[in-house]
Amino acid sequence: MVVDIDKKSGFCFGVQNAVEIAEEALSKGERVFSLGPIVHNDKEVERLSALGLVYIDHDQFNNLKDCKVLIRAHGEPPETYLVAAKNNITIIEATCPIVRRLQSRILKIWEKSKESRGQVVIFGKPGHSEVVGLLGHTKNEGILISGPGDLHKIDITRPVWLFAQTTMSVKDYAIIAEMIHTKMKEAGTTDPDKFLHVNNTICGQVSNRESHLKSFAEKHDVLIFVSGRESSNGKMLYSVCESINHETYFVSSPEEINVEWFRGKNSIGICGATSTPKWLIEKVYDFILTI
Protein backbone atom coordinates (compact mmCIF):
# COMPACT_ATOMS: atom_id res chain seq x y z
CA MET A 1 0.00 0.00 0.00
CA VAL A 2 1.23 3.49 -0.88
CA VAL A 3 0.78 6.31 1.63
CA ASP A 4 1.46 9.75 0.27
CA ILE A 5 1.51 13.22 1.90
CA ASP A 6 0.46 16.16 -0.23
CA LYS A 7 3.59 18.33 -0.34
CA LYS A 8 1.60 21.55 -0.60
CA SER A 9 -0.57 20.93 2.46
CA GLY A 10 0.22 22.62 5.76
CA PHE A 11 0.13 26.22 6.96
CA CYS A 12 -0.27 28.96 4.42
CA PHE A 13 2.20 31.80 4.49
CA GLY A 14 -0.07 34.03 6.64
CA VAL A 15 -0.63 31.46 9.38
CA GLN A 16 3.02 30.38 9.37
CA ASN A 17 4.00 34.03 9.78
CA ALA A 18 1.59 34.50 12.73
CA VAL A 19 2.83 31.35 14.48
CA GLU A 20 6.47 32.44 14.09
CA ILE A 21 5.68 35.91 15.47
CA ALA A 22 3.96 34.28 18.47
CA GLU A 23 6.88 31.89 19.07
CA GLU A 24 9.35 34.75 18.92
CA ALA A 25 7.35 36.86 21.39
CA LEU A 26 7.02 33.89 23.76
CA SER A 27 10.75 33.12 23.56
CA LYS A 28 11.44 36.41 25.37
CA GLY A 29 9.67 35.01 28.41
CA GLU A 30 7.01 37.73 28.48
CA ARG A 31 3.30 37.19 28.99
CA VAL A 32 1.58 37.26 25.60
CA PHE A 33 -2.17 37.20 24.98
CA SER A 34 -3.71 36.17 21.68
CA LEU A 35 -7.00 37.78 20.70
CA GLY A 36 -8.86 34.61 19.72
CA PRO A 37 -7.30 31.25 18.79
CA ILE A 38 -4.21 31.90 16.68
CA VAL A 39 -5.34 29.35 14.09
CA HIS A 40 -8.46 27.24 13.58
CA ASN A 41 -6.70 24.12 14.70
CA ASP A 42 -7.08 22.84 18.27
CA LYS A 43 -3.84 20.87 18.25
CA GLU A 44 -1.73 23.89 17.25
CA VAL A 45 -3.64 26.09 19.70
CA GLU A 46 -2.79 23.58 22.47
CA ARG A 47 0.90 23.49 21.43
CA LEU A 48 1.26 27.28 21.62
CA SER A 49 -0.75 27.40 24.81
CA ALA A 50 1.79 25.01 26.37
CA LEU A 51 4.51 27.51 25.35
CA GLY A 52 2.66 30.22 27.31
CA LEU A 53 0.30 31.88 24.83
CA VAL A 54 -2.88 32.94 26.64
CA TYR A 55 -6.07 33.08 24.58
CA ILE A 56 -8.60 35.81 25.32
CA ASP A 57 -11.89 36.91 23.78
CA HIS A 58 -12.96 40.48 22.98
CA ASP A 59 -14.69 41.01 26.34
CA GLN A 60 -11.49 40.09 28.18
CA PHE A 61 -9.45 42.24 25.78
CA ASN A 62 -11.61 45.29 26.54
CA ASN A 63 -10.77 44.92 30.23
CA LEU A 64 -7.00 44.42 29.84
CA LYS A 65 -4.39 47.12 30.43
CA ASP A 66 -0.60 47.49 30.14
CA CYS A 67 0.16 44.20 28.40
CA LYS A 68 1.00 42.63 25.01
CA VAL A 69 -1.69 41.24 22.73
CA LEU A 70 -1.12 39.42 19.47
CA ILE A 71 -3.48 40.07 16.55
CA ARG A 72 -3.79 36.85 14.57
CA ALA A 73 -3.62 36.38 10.77
CA HIS A 74 -7.35 37.09 10.24
CA GLY A 75 -6.92 40.69 11.37
CA GLU A 76 -9.17 42.96 13.43
CA PRO A 77 -11.45 45.96 12.90
CA PRO A 78 -10.05 49.47 13.63
CA GLU A 79 -11.89 49.63 17.01
CA THR A 80 -9.55 46.97 18.41
CA TYR A 81 -6.57 49.26 17.83
CA LEU A 82 -8.41 52.16 19.47
CA VAL A 83 -9.09 50.06 22.58
CA ALA A 84 -5.41 49.02 22.64
CA ALA A 85 -4.24 52.66 22.46
CA LYS A 86 -6.65 53.67 25.22
CA ASN A 87 -5.61 50.81 27.55
CA ASN A 88 -1.86 50.97 26.91
CA ILE A 89 -1.87 47.58 25.24
CA THR A 90 1.10 46.84 22.97
CA ILE A 91 -0.12 45.16 19.81
CA ILE A 92 1.98 42.34 18.37
CA GLU A 93 0.90 42.58 14.75
CA ALA A 94 0.50 39.20 13.08
CA THR A 95 -2.30 40.09 10.64
CA CYS A 96 -1.54 38.37 7.35
CA PRO A 97 -0.14 41.00 4.93
CA ILE A 98 -2.68 39.86 2.32
CA VAL A 99 -5.59 40.50 4.73
CA ARG A 100 -4.06 43.83 5.71
CA ARG A 101 -3.92 44.91 2.06
CA LEU A 102 -7.53 43.84 1.60
CA GLN A 103 -8.62 45.84 4.67
CA SER A 104 -6.93 48.99 3.28
CA ARG A 105 -8.48 48.45 -0.13
CA ILE A 106 -11.96 48.03 1.33
CA LEU A 107 -11.52 51.16 3.47
CA LYS A 108 -10.42 53.21 0.44
CA ILE A 109 -13.23 51.97 -1.79
CA TRP A 110 -15.85 52.33 0.92
CA GLU A 111 -14.88 56.01 1.32
CA LYS A 112 -14.85 56.53 -2.47
CA SER A 113 -18.12 54.65 -3.03
CA LYS A 114 -20.03 57.30 -1.11
CA GLU A 115 -19.57 59.76 -4.02
CA SER A 116 -21.71 57.50 -6.24
CA ARG A 117 -24.06 56.08 -3.57
CA GLY A 118 -22.22 52.79 -4.03
CA GLN A 119 -22.28 49.75 -1.77
CA VAL A 120 -19.42 47.62 -0.50
CA VAL A 121 -20.55 44.00 -0.51
CA ILE A 122 -18.52 41.25 1.15
CA PHE A 123 -19.05 37.59 0.31
CA GLY A 124 -18.03 35.67 3.42
CA LYS A 125 -18.99 33.65 6.46
CA PRO A 126 -21.08 35.49 9.09
CA GLY A 127 -19.17 35.91 12.33
CA HIS A 128 -15.83 34.82 10.88
CA SER A 129 -13.09 36.98 12.41
CA GLU A 130 -11.65 38.04 9.04
CA VAL A 131 -15.14 39.15 7.95
CA VAL A 132 -15.68 41.05 11.22
CA GLY A 133 -12.39 42.86 10.55
CA LEU A 134 -13.26 43.64 6.93
CA LEU A 135 -16.71 44.97 7.82
CA GLY A 136 -15.13 47.06 10.56
CA HIS A 137 -13.19 48.89 7.85
CA THR A 138 -16.55 50.10 6.46
CA LYS A 139 -17.78 51.15 9.90
CA ASN A 140 -20.05 48.12 9.54
CA GLU A 141 -21.91 49.75 6.67
CA GLY A 142 -20.70 47.05 4.25
CA ILE A 143 -23.23 44.39 3.27
CA LEU A 144 -22.37 40.82 4.18
CA ILE A 145 -23.68 38.08 1.92
CA SER A 146 -22.99 34.41 2.53
CA GLY A 147 -24.98 32.92 -0.35
CA PRO A 148 -27.72 33.52 -2.95
CA GLY A 149 -30.31 33.85 -0.15
CA ASP A 150 -28.70 37.14 0.92
CA LEU A 151 -28.80 38.89 -2.44
CA HIS A 152 -31.98 40.75 -1.49
CA LYS A 153 -29.81 42.85 0.87
CA ILE A 154 -28.19 44.56 -2.13
CA ASP A 155 -29.83 47.51 -3.87
CA ILE A 156 -29.12 46.55 -7.47
CA THR A 157 -30.08 49.99 -8.74
CA ARG A 158 -26.90 51.35 -7.10
CA PRO A 159 -23.21 50.56 -7.86
CA VAL A 160 -21.71 47.55 -6.12
CA TRP A 161 -18.09 46.88 -5.16
CA LEU A 162 -17.89 43.18 -4.50
CA PHE A 163 -15.18 41.55 -2.34
CA ALA A 164 -14.70 38.01 -1.02
CA GLN A 165 -13.27 36.80 2.26
CA THR A 166 -9.83 35.42 1.32
CA THR A 167 -10.73 31.79 1.96
CA MET A 168 -13.99 31.51 -0.01
CA SER A 169 -14.39 29.09 -2.91
CA VAL A 170 -13.48 30.58 -6.30
CA LYS A 171 -16.40 28.78 -7.91
CA ASP A 172 -18.99 30.04 -5.40
CA TYR A 173 -17.67 33.60 -5.70
CA ALA A 174 -17.98 33.49 -9.50
CA ILE A 175 -21.58 32.23 -9.16
CA ILE A 176 -22.49 35.04 -6.74
CA ALA A 177 -20.93 37.70 -8.99
CA GLU A 178 -22.82 36.31 -11.99
CA MET A 179 -26.12 36.32 -10.07
CA ILE A 180 -25.70 39.98 -9.11
CA HIS A 181 -24.83 40.83 -12.71
CA THR A 182 -27.95 39.03 -13.95
CA LYS A 183 -30.16 40.78 -11.38
CA MET A 184 -28.80 44.15 -12.50
CA LYS A 185 -29.53 43.32 -16.13
CA GLU A 186 -33.07 42.20 -15.28
CA ALA A 187 -33.61 45.44 -13.36
CA GLY A 188 -32.72 47.34 -16.54
CA THR A 189 -29.34 48.70 -15.39
CA THR A 190 -27.90 50.22 -18.57
CA ASP A 191 -24.37 48.94 -18.06
CA PRO A 192 -24.00 46.27 -15.34
CA ASP A 193 -20.29 45.93 -16.22
CA LYS A 194 -19.73 49.46 -14.97
CA PHE A 195 -22.11 49.13 -12.02
CA LEU A 196 -20.66 45.91 -10.65
CA HIS A 197 -16.97 45.96 -9.66
CA VAL A 198 -15.82 42.44 -8.84
CA ASN A 199 -12.56 42.41 -6.90
CA ASN A 200 -10.48 39.27 -7.06
CA THR A 201 -9.66 38.88 -3.37
CA ILE A 202 -9.55 35.13 -2.83
CA CYS A 203 -6.07 34.30 -1.61
CA GLY A 204 -3.82 32.50 -4.11
CA GLN A 205 -2.66 30.21 -1.28
CA VAL A 206 -6.25 28.91 -1.16
CA SER A 207 -7.31 29.04 -4.82
CA ASN A 208 -4.10 27.35 -6.04
CA ARG A 209 -4.51 24.71 -3.40
CA GLU A 210 -8.07 24.08 -4.57
CA SER A 211 -6.98 23.07 -8.07
CA HIS A 212 -3.92 21.22 -6.82
CA LEU A 213 -6.03 19.18 -4.35
CA LYS A 214 -8.42 18.15 -7.10
CA SER A 215 -5.64 16.34 -8.94
CA PHE A 216 -4.21 14.94 -5.68
CA ALA A 217 -7.67 13.56 -4.79
CA GLU A 218 -7.96 11.82 -8.18
CA LYS A 219 -4.70 9.93 -7.70
CA HIS A 220 -5.66 8.06 -4.52
CA ASP A 221 -8.19 5.41 -3.52
CA VAL A 222 -8.73 7.00 -0.10
CA LEU A 223 -8.09 10.55 1.04
CA ILE A 224 -7.53 11.64 4.64
CA PHE A 225 -8.20 15.33 5.04
CA VAL A 226 -6.68 16.71 8.26
CA SER A 227 -8.14 19.92 9.64
CA GLY A 228 -9.66 21.63 12.66
CA ARG A 229 -13.46 21.47 12.56
CA GLU A 230 -13.74 25.25 12.97
CA SER A 231 -11.60 26.05 9.93
CA SER A 232 -13.73 27.57 7.17
CA ASN A 233 -10.97 26.97 4.66
CA GLY A 234 -10.76 23.37 5.94
CA LYS A 235 -14.48 22.80 5.30
CA MET A 236 -14.21 24.33 1.85
CA LEU A 237 -11.11 22.36 0.76
CA TYR A 238 -12.54 19.16 2.22
CA SER A 239 -15.67 19.52 0.08
CA VAL A 240 -13.47 20.14 -2.98
CA CYS A 241 -11.64 16.84 -2.29
CA GLU A 242 -14.87 15.00 -1.51
CA SER A 243 -16.45 16.13 -4.78
CA ILE A 244 -13.61 14.41 -6.67
CA ASN A 245 -12.99 11.44 -4.37
CA HIS A 246 -16.02 10.21 -2.40
CA GLU A 247 -13.75 8.22 -0.12
CA THR A 248 -12.42 11.36 1.54
CA TYR A 249 -12.45 11.36 5.36
CA PHE A 250 -12.20 14.46 7.55
CA VAL A 251 -10.12 13.97 10.71
CA SER A 252 -8.75 16.37 13.30
CA SER A 253 -6.29 13.91 14.83
CA PRO A 254 -4.89 10.38 14.22
CA GLU A 255 -7.25 8.93 16.88
CA GLU A 256 -10.24 9.58 14.60
CA ILE A 257 -8.93 7.25 11.90
CA ASN A 258 -10.88 4.06 11.27
CA VAL A 259 -8.82 1.17 9.88
CA GLU A 260 -11.86 -0.07 7.95
CA TRP A 261 -11.45 2.87 5.56
CA PHE A 262 -8.29 1.28 4.15
CA ARG A 263 -9.45 -2.31 3.69
CA GLY A 264 -8.82 -3.45 0.10
CA LYS A 265 -7.33 -0.08 -0.91
CA ASN A 266 -3.97 0.44 -2.56
CA SER A 267 -3.21 4.09 -2.18
CA ILE A 268 -3.89 6.63 0.57
CA GLY A 269 -3.39 10.36 0.21
CA ILE A 270 -3.07 12.70 3.22
CA CYS A 271 -3.70 16.40 2.85
CA GLY A 272 -5.03 19.34 4.86
CA ALA A 273 -6.12 22.95 5.11
CA THR A 274 -4.08 26.17 5.22
CA SER A 275 -4.59 26.08 8.99
CA THR A 276 -3.32 22.51 9.46
CA PRO A 277 0.20 22.26 10.89
CA LYS A 278 2.62 20.06 8.98
CA TRP A 279 3.58 18.23 12.17
CA LEU A 280 -0.05 17.06 12.56
CA ILE A 281 -0.20 15.80 8.97
CA GLU A 282 3.04 13.89 9.63
CA LYS A 283 1.58 12.43 12.83
CA VAL A 284 -1.40 11.13 10.82
CA TYR A 285 1.05 9.69 8.27
CA ASP A 286 3.06 7.90 11.00
CA PHE A 287 -0.14 6.53 12.51
CA ILE A 288 -1.33 5.13 9.18
CA LEU A 289 2.04 3.44 8.65
CA THR A 290 1.57 1.57 11.93
CA ILE A 291 -1.74 0.06 10.80
- The region that residue 5 occupies, defined by phi over 0 for left and psi between -120 and 50 for alpha, beta otherwise, is beta
The yes or no reply on residue 41 touching ligand SF4 (CB under 6 A) is no
CB distance 248 to 221 below 8 Å: no
How far apart are CB 193 and ligand SF4 at their closest, in Å? 28
**Which of 70, 156, 196, 206 is close enough to bind ligand SF4 by CB under 6 A?**
206
Write the CB contacts of 210 (distance below 8 Å, at least 6 apart in sequence).
169, 170, 236, 237, 240
How far apart are CB 211 and ligand SF4 at their closest, in Å? 15
**Which of 3, 6, 9, 12 is close enough to bind ligand SF4 by CB under 6 A?**
12
- Alpha helix segments (H runs only) across 28-124: 42-50, 58-62, 78-86, 97-113
Stated as kind and residue range, the H or E segment containing 271 is strand 267-272
How far is 106 from 136, CA to CA, in rounded Å?
Answer: 10
**Which of 22, 98, 122, 222 is close enough to bind ligand SF4 by CB under 6 A?**
98
Residues designated as active site: 130
Q: Convert residues 167-196 into a mask of x (bound to ligand SF4 by CB under 6 A) and - (unbound).
A: x-----------------------------
The yes or no reply on residue 15 touching ligand SF4 (CB under 6 A) is yes
How far apart are CB 75 and ligand SF4 at their closest, in Å? 9
**Which of 25, 35, 48, 73 is close enough to bind ligand SF4 by CB under 6 A?**
73
The yes or no reply on residue 14 touching ligand SF4 (CB under 6 A) is yes
Interface with ligand SF4 in residues 122-151 (CB under 6 A)? none
Q: Give residue number: closest CB to ligand SF4.
A: 14
Judged by beta carbon, residue 119 or residue 129, the one nearer ligand SF4 is 129
Stretch that binds ligand SF4, among 33-41, 91-99, 119-127, 250-258 (CB under 6 A): 91-99
Which residue from 21, 119, 133 is spatially nearest to 70, judged by alpha carbons? 21
Stretch that binds ligand SF4, among 92-100, 140-148, 218-226, 262-270 (CB under 6 A): 92-100
Question: Which strands form 143-145's sheet, in the order they lie side by side?
Answer: 143-145, 119-123, 160-164, 196-198
CB distance 54 to 33 below 8 Å: yes
Judged by beta carbon, residue 99 or residue 226, the one nearer ligand SF4 is 99
Size, binding site for ligand SF4 by CB under 6 A: 14
Three-state secondary-structure class, residue 164: strand
How far is 287 from 281, CA to CA, in rounded Å?
Answer: 10
Judged by beta carbon, residue 40 or residue 181, the one nearer ligand SF4 is 40
How far is 100 from 42, CA to CA, in rounded Å?
Answer: 25
How far is 122 from 134, CA to CA, in rounded Å?
Answer: 8
Residues that bind ligand SF4 (CB under 6 A): 12-15, 73, 96, 98-99, 166-167, 203, 205-206, 274
